[in-house]
Amino acid sequence: MHANIVVLPGDGIGPEVTAAAVAVLRAVAARYGHDFDFSEHLIGGAAIDATGSALPDATLAAARSADAILLGAVGGPKWSDPGAKVRPEQGLLAIRKALGLYANLRPVKPHAATLGASPIKPHLLQGVDLIVVRELTGGIYFGDKARSDGDASDVCRYSVAEIERVVRHAARLARARSGRLTSVDKANVLETSRLWREVATRVVGEEFPDVQLEHQLVDSMAMHLLARPRSFDVIVTENMFGDILTDEASMLAGSLGLLPSASLGEGSCGIFEPIHGSAPDITGKGIANPYAAILSAAMLLRHALGLEGEAQCVELAVSRALEGGALTADLTCDRARAVGTRAVTSTVLEQLELPCHVMELRD
C-alpha cells in the first residue's frame, strides 16, 4: 500500500526516538512491499525557534493531508519561562484539537523481560494487560484560562456529546476485549465528573448492555492501579486524569520509555506518539529508550493503515529484542549491560528480518 506519513520529531529526545520509529517503518515497507512516503515538519520548541509559532500553518496543512502522523515529543527548559507568550505544548494541544483526535489509547502490557524494571512486585504484574482511553480534546486543558494579580483560573468543561463519543469508543474496545470497562472520575467533587458518570452510565446501559461498567474515583483509582492492576481491562477517563494515571501506569511496564499511544478521531488518520515527554535530562546522550516510539509506529500500522499483521510483527520484534537483553539504561540497574538508542533500534531491525508468523499477515 502507499501511505503518506508526516513525521513531527519535536524537541529533546523527540528526534532521537522518532528516527528509530521511522527506521522500523522503512524496514516494514521494504519487507512487506509497501510504499511509505515520509515528510518531516516542525512542531513545538523547534517550530517556535524557526517560525515563532508552536504549530506552523505548513505543519497543520501537511498533517491534514497525511494518512498518519508520527510524533516525538515537545517542550524543554529553553521554552519553559512562566512568562513566555508561546509554549511548545500549545502546538501539541492545537494539532490534537484541530484534527479532532479525541480518543487517546494508551495500552499497558508489562513484558516478562522488564518486570525487574518495575518498582511493583512481579507477582502483581503477571497477566496485566490494560488500556487507558484518555479523552484528549476537552476538559481543563481547553477551558478558558485567566490570570490577574493574585488570581488565576483554568475552566474545566465537558459537553454531553464529548463524553458520549469517547465512552462509545472505549465501550467498543471493551466489547472486543474482556467486556469490562472502568470509568474514572471525581464525581464526589466535580460537576463535570457528575455529568461524565451520568453519560457513561446511560451510554453503556443503552448501547452496550453486554459491557460491564464500573465507576472509580480517581484518587483511589491511582492506588488500585498499583495494588491490583490485573483487575482492569479498559479504563476510560477525562483528559487530565488520563494524563496522570498513564504516567503512573508506565511504572507497571517498568519505564515511561515503554508506553506508546494512538490519538484517534472519526477518520483513520491519527497521531502516534510515545506518552513520554522530551526528557531534557537525557537529551543528546544517545540513551533514550526508543521502544515507546517503535510501539507507537506499530499502533500507526494497525490503526491508521489497517496493517494488523505488520503491527504484530513489529510488536513481536520488540518482544524478542527485550528478551534478547536489548535494554536501555531506564530498563536495567546493571549499567554495564545497558545499550543505547541506536543499538536497541538495530536489534529490533534484526528481529524484523526473522520469520514472523502472525495470523493476519499475508507474506
Active site residues: 141, 186, 219, 243, 247
Residue (of 16, 265, 275, 5) closest to 132 by Cα position: 275
Using the rule CB under 6 A, is 89 a contact of ligand IPM? Answer: yes
Residues 6+ apart with CB under 8 A from 179: 210, 211, 212, 233
Contact by Cβ (8 Å): 273, 290? no
Using the rule CB under 6 A, is 149 a contact of ligand NAD? Answer: no
Contact by Cβ (8 Å): 264, 306? no
Contact letters (x/-) for ligand IPM, 271-310, by CB under 6 A? ----x-x---------------------------------
Using the rule CB under 6 A, is 93 a contact of ligand IPM? Answer: yes
Least Å distance between CB 288 and ligand NAD? 4
Least Å distance between CB 239 and Mn ion? 10
Contact by Cβ (8 Å): 14, 7? no
Which of residues 11, 67, 243, 310 is near ligand IPM by CB under 6 A? 243
Hey, which residues does 69 pair with through a beta bridge? 6, 271
Least Å distance between CB 188 and Mn ion? 25
Using the rule CB under 6 A, is 235 a contact of ligand NAD? Answer: no
Using the rule CB under 6 A, is 276 a contact of ligand NAD? Answer: yes
Of 316-335, which residues contact ligand NAD (CB under 6 A)? 330
Least Å distance between CB 92 and Mn ion? 10
What's the gap between Cα 141 and its chain centre?
Answer: 17
SS3 content of the chain, % helix, strand, coil (to 5): 50, 15, 35
Among Mn ion, ligand IPM, ligand NAD, none, the one that 257 touches (CB under a kind-dependent 5 to 8 A) is: ligand NAD
Of 173-232, which residues contact ligand NAD (CB under 6 A)? none
CA distance 67 to 77: 32
Grid coordinates representing 72?
516525538
Of 82-101, which residues contact ligand NAD (CB under 6 A)? 89, 92
The H or E element that residue 23 is part of is helix 14-32
Contact by Cβ (8 Å): 106, 245? no
CA distance 77 to 65: 32
Which of residues 243, 273, 315, 330 is near Mn ion by CB under 5 A? 243
Among ligand IPM, ligand NAD, Mn ion, none, the one that 330 touches (CB under a kind-dependent 5 to 8 A) is: ligand NAD
In the three-class reduction of DSSP (H, G, I as helix; E, B as strand; rest coil), residue 106 is classed as strand
Looking at the Cβ atoms of 182 and 261, the one nearer to ligand NAD is: 261
Binding site for ligand IPM (CB under 6 A): 75, 89, 92-93, 243, 275, 277
Binding site for ligand NAD (CB under 6 A): 13, 17, 73-76, 80, 89, 92, 256-257, 273, 276-282, 288-289, 292, 330
